[in-house]
Amino acid sequence: MSLENALKDFLNKTDFVRFDTFFTGFMLGVPKDCYTEEERKQACSLFREKTDKREIASYPTIRKWFGLGGKTKPDRMQIFEIAFALSLSAQDVNLILKEGMFEPGIRINDYREIIFWFGLLNHLSYEECCVMIEQFERHINSDLVIVQATNTAELLYAFENNKQLSKDEFMDWLDSIAGVFKGYGKTALNYMLKLKKLVVSYMRKEWKILLENMLASTDFETWKKKKRNRHKLSEGEQIRQYLYKEKSLSDERRKEILDMVSFVYFEEDNNVRVLAEIFPDTRISLLRDTLLRGMTQKHLSDLLNIAKQKEKDMELTRKRYELLDSMEKNPEAVKQLSQIEKNKREHKRRMVQVERADLLPFIQYVAVFRYLEEISACGKKYEAKKAKEQFVILADQILTACNMAVISEKYELDSLLLLGFQEDDCYLYEELAEQLVMMKMD
């Protein structure tokens, strides 16, 4: 099947797993690819009955969780409230988060989530856990230092040894290790940084070849041999010096080569170039009926700066409780508290965490270029099956380490990326999404 036909089939496919289909199947206990409206209504009614019509969200919103009157999904904290309302296990919560929300499972380095986990295991109420969370937040010291290291395995081991403590003993334990609760996926962030670095490395290799080809049409090599001080300058500096003095090049050509020199030899802040290489442009919004998306420079910046964002959030939380406790004595506290609440709401929008949809396009890019380098080095021909296998192996390795669901064709993004491995060539996410956009525009 040609890529064009494969993409047409992809656009017409309606049974990809999304939260509404996952949650409908979860409530009915009968996982399927698709559900009738009657089955969705049945699942929604069952949910309302089992939760005693608890107002976790408005009724129209809850209906949308089941694909009735629209589609949406709860936020991460609402999943925990749902878990208590339905008396779910921690295993159920992990399943919903990973396979329904496409997010990491329970984050044990988030004090809220470890408290909810403790509550689920010890049959506490959601309200009791919220009180415990407030208690922990009130004890945050101004000199608290957050440990910015990967410590999931150690924390899981410690939790296993402390999960049967009394509430008070458990809270004392949490207070004693408060610095480990950084509240974001350090492993996922580390992989994001590593993948971005690899992408830049592959891009520079490609651009360097293009740059050398451009310079081959000039007398740069002849000029370089005549320069007495050439050994004192780097290759990039020599090219720049040549371009500034060479008058035979057009301004457009000079600018083009200088831009390539900048990226290949000098540029450190390369987010814009990386995003243009990995993700489709803003026209991806035309695919609004899919879960496919692009990535803005701001979003990437927020992802890579999550550690600072979380530290700031902790500080705002601490100040909030300080003001709440001083309201009787401090007339200005009400006004200051209002500003803190506003800052927290605005800051919350910047606290974005690395998700599957962020990682997978980077993983595909790295897997493809790694495979192409390997076959080029040993003179082998491209084989779609082997290229796809290498992508799946790398993706599953990274996703498992990040406590995320592994690759599956039942997920929309995964299915598209796997489609990229055609018999004639492999196509990256940016190319595939752009072709889908063009099909929508026709």
Alpha carbon 201 to its chain centroid, in Å, reads: 21
- What pLDDT, on the 0 to 100 scale, is given for residue 228? 67
Smallest Cα–Cα separation from 101: which of 312, 411, 442? 411
Q: Which of 126, 155, 183 is the last residue of a domain?
A: 183
Q: Give a yes or no: residue 369 inside a domain.
A: yes
Distance (Å, rounded) from C-alpha 105 to C-alpha 163?
18
B/e letters for 24-55, b = 16+ CB within 10 Å, e = fewer, are: bbbbeeeeeeebeeebbebbbebbeeebeebe
> Which ranges of 30-110 would DSSP assign to H, the alpha helix?
37-50, 59-65, 76-85, 90-95
Buried b (16+ CB within 10 A) or exposed e, 143-157: eeebeeebbbeebee
Instruction: Report pLDDT digits (tens) over 102-129.
Output: 999 999 999 999 999 999 999 999 999 9
Would 193 be classed as within a structural domain? no
DSSP 19-34: HHHHHHHHHHT---S-
Tell me: do 431 and 366 sit in the same domain. yes
Task: Check whether residue 118 and residue 76 sit in a common domain.
Answer: no
Q: Phi first, then psi: what are they for 68, rounded to 5°?
A: -105, 120
Same domain, 332 and 367: no
Are 29 and 67 found together in one domain? Answer: yes
pLDDT digits (tens, 9 = 90+) for 319-361: 888 888 877 777 777 788 888 888 888 888 888 999 999 999 9
Q: Give a yes or no: residue 23 inside a domain.
A: yes
Residue 361 lies in a domain: yes
Enumerate residues 6+ apart whose C-beta is below 8 A from 426: 368, 371, 372, 382, 384, 387, 420
Q: Is residue 86 part of a domain?
A: yes
Query: 341 and 360: one domain?
Result: no
Q: pLDDT tens across 87-106, in order?
A: 999 999 999 999 999 999 99
Q: How far apart are CA 97 and CA 56, in angstroms?
A: 17
Count of C-beta atoms within a 10 Å radius of residue 377:
8
- Domain end (from 157, 183, 209): 183
Q: Among 226-230, 277-281, 374-378, 383-387, name the one with the lowest average pLDDT.
A: 226-230
- Does the residue 376 lie in any domain? yes
Same domain, 360 and 321: no
The per-residue pLDDT for range 33-73, each reduced to its tens digit, is 899 999 999 999 999 999 999 999 999 999 999 999 999 99
Q: Look up the domain containing 59 and give its range.
A: 16-93
Specify whether 156 is located in the same domain as 132. yes
Residues 128 and 163 grouped into a single domain: yes
pLDDT at 336: 84
Residues 58 and 88 in one domain: yes
Q: Are 208 and 264 in contact (CB under 8 A)?
A: yes
Six token digits for residue 219: 């007398």
CA dihedral 369→375→379→385, nearest 10 degrees, is -120
Residue type, 309: Q
Residues 188-247: tens digit of each pLDDT:
999 999 999 999 999 999 999 999 999 998 888 888 888 766 667 888 998 998 888 888
What is the predicted pLDDT for the residue at 326?
79
Per the structure, the count of domains in the chain is 4
Residue ending a domain, choose from 317, 348, 379? 348
pLDDT at 265 over 70: yes
Phi, psi for residue 318 in degrees, rounded to 5: -60, -45
3-state SS class at 421: strand
Structural domain includes residue 198: no
Residue 248 domain-assigned (yes or no)? no
397-438 tens-digit pLDDT: 999 999 999 999 999 999 999 999 999 999 999 999 999 998
Give yes or no: residues 85 and 140 share one domain: no
Q: How many CB atoms lie within 10 A of CB 229?
A: 8
Give the confidence band of 140 by pLDDT, cuts at 50, 70, 90.
confident
* Same-domain pairing of 22 and 75: yes
Share above pLDDT 90 across residues of the chain, in percent, rounded to a whole number: 66
